[in-house]
Amino acid sequence: MASELPKRWRPHVARGPARARAPRLHSPPAHAAPPPREDRRARVPRLLRFTRHGVPALAVLAGVIAMGFGTTTSLIGGAGLIGAGLASWLVAWLYRVGVEGDRARDAEERARREFERTGRWPDS
């Protein structure tokens, strides 16, 4: 399906494969390091870190101390406390993994929209 317009009126034909790329006003040098990412530990509040790691650690510690008494009941109770501490840590970890996956999907969706709009996949 050929166009009736002369080539000079169809500049995308003259540019070849670069026709879909948006013009870059500023391109960083190829050897430039990526911008430093902010440290994740600095962004997480102390109370949240304590809730994620401290509460399960305290439950495990209480279980170990309870098991130290040596009676049958304390061994069973200590094992229950250790299991509860590990389970609460695992639930918090699984939640963080799920949220990170959502962020990755959102970023990919934004990249796809940018690609549809400009014809160029964003660098980051």
Domain count for the chain? 1
- Domain-embedded: residue 14: no
In a domain, 101, yes or no: yes
Considering the domain boundaries, does residue 78 fall inside one? yes
Q: Which phi and psi angles does 23 have, rounded to 5°? A: -65, 140
Name the packing angle between helices 55-67 and 72-118 (round to 10°).
160
Q: Which domain holds residue 81?
A: 45-117
Is 86 contained in some domain? yes
Residue 51 domain-assigned?
Answer: yes
113 assigned to some structural domain? yes
pLDDT tens string, the chain, 124 residues long: the values are 556 655 555 555 555 555 555 555 555 555 555 555 666 656 889 999 999 999 999 999 999 999 999 899 999 999 999 999 999 999 999 998 888 888 888 889 999 999 998 888 887 6
**16 located within any domain:** no
DSSP structure class, residue 2: -
Q: Is residue 76 part of a domain?
A: yes
